[in-house]
Amino acid sequence: MKIDRSIQLEILKAAADTHPAPLDIAVMRQLLATHGEDVMAANLRYLAGHGLIDRGVTVGADGHFSFKCPEITADGIDFLLDDGGLSAILGVVTIRFHDETLRELIGFRISQSDLSQPDKSRLLGQLRELRGETIKHLTLKLVDAGLANWPVALQAIETFVRRSGF
């Protein structure tokens, strides 16, 4: 296989050394001489496809490669940094649940509870009637209740982390 992590790392490190300028032409020639055009083209296209470098190689209609000295991108630099760089700092994750999804999750827990069937039916009916902001408020209250029962919440976190292989 032409795709090679060690070659990709070599390209990225060399490009980072010359940043903000493109990769030095002498270094590019050395990489081409060491690894060959086919392998370099494959790895440069792969890195560019993932947004880690700009430019690198184009393939002509006749199948010949045209190499350009690549520039490392901000994502490429962040990839090299041990801490993930600014992407890790700025990478806030927003999770959104639709009202119906929350109703289903809560409804499932109600249906699995030890309540009597009439109580389950009553609660499930009331749950179906709740609208957007009310569902949001209920969900926040349920999160608060879960965190208020910290020993159980902590055990759930530990179980999840263990099963996820972290």
- Given a contact cutoff of 8 angstroms between Cβ atoms, the answer to whether 132 and 99 are in contact is yes
Q: What are the boundaries of each domain within the chain?
A: 5-89, 99-164
Per-residue pLDDT tens listing for the chain (166 residues): 799 999 999 999 999 999 999 999 999 999 999 999 999 999 999 999 999 999 888 888 888 888 999 999 999 999 999 887 787 777 777 778 888 888 998 999 999 999 999 999 999 999 998 888 888 888 889 888 888 988 888 888 888 788 877 6
Specify the DSSP element, H or E, that contains 60: none
Write the CATH number of the domain with boundaries 5-89.
1.10.10
pLDDT of res. 1: 79
| 96-102, long-range: CB < 8 A, 24+ apart | 97/139, 99/131, 99/132, 99/135, 102/135, 102/138, 102/139
d(CA 11, CA 73): 12
The dihedrals phi and psi of 58, each to the nearest 5 degrees, come to -125, 155
Q: What tokens does 30 get?
A: 């050395």
